[in-house]
Amino acid sequence: GDGSERRVMGIVPQIERRPARPLEIVERGWDFCWSTTTGIVGFLYGLATGQSSLSELAGPLGVAKLSGDSARQGSGAFLFFIAYVSVSIGFLQILPFPALDGGHIIYVLIEAIIRRPIPTKIKLWIQQVGMALLILLILFVSYHDVLRIFSK
């Protein structure tokens, strides 16, 4: 790279190489997961308040470019990036959005509250709307990926 810090959703990797005790490794892993999750929550809050924009997200092309950029910075930066993406995907999967795991958790909770299954037709309709919104989001962020990648 050019030596400049790379940011992903406001997170700057600070890689420190030194021997560590196993418990310290677990603690640092937990801290990383926590800071990544709070960064995502902060970004989502920024979206809700207008302080952040969906155009700041990276889609498949952007993630591929960032992956290559981090790999060029070295194995530590690349491992950091992989861990960041993994934690991000894990967190996003539990959001209460149809078509994601969090949406299924909401279905289970609703069914427990109303004490009967949600009709299949309603579930399918909600899933289809959720999937359509996810596809639109992917197209939107991919469009912005193309603009970012090819405008340089």
Domain extents in the chain: 1-93, 96-152
If you count DSSP H runs as helices and E runs as strands, how many of each does the chain have, helices first? Answer: 5, 0
Evaluated on CA atoms 69, 57, 29, 4, the torsion sign reads: positive
Residue with tokens 């989502």: 44
Q: Rounded to an integer, what distance in angstroms lies between the CA atom of residue 43 and that of residue 49?
A: 10
Percent of the chain topping pLDDT 70: 88
Is the pLDDT at 93 greater than 60? The verdict is yes
Q: Rounded to an integer, what distance in angstroms lies between the CA atom of residue 3 and that of residue 74?
A: 12
Q: Rounded to an integer, what distance in angstroms lies between the CA atom of residue 102 and that of residue 124?
A: 16
pLDDT digits (tens, 9 = 90+) for 39-71: 999 999 998 999 998 888 898 999 999 999 999
22-49 vs 75-93: helix crossing angle, rounded to 10: 60
pLDDT digits (tens, 9 = 90+) for 74-84: 888 899 999 99
Q: Rounded to an integer, what distance in angstroms lies between the CA atom of residue 81 and that of residue 11?
A: 10
Beta bridge partners of 8: 11
Query: Which stretch of 12-21, 50-59, 96-105 has the lowest confidence by average pLDDT?
Result: 12-21
Average pLDDT over residues 124-129: 94
Minimal CA–CA distance to 39: which of 12, 69, 77, 65? 12
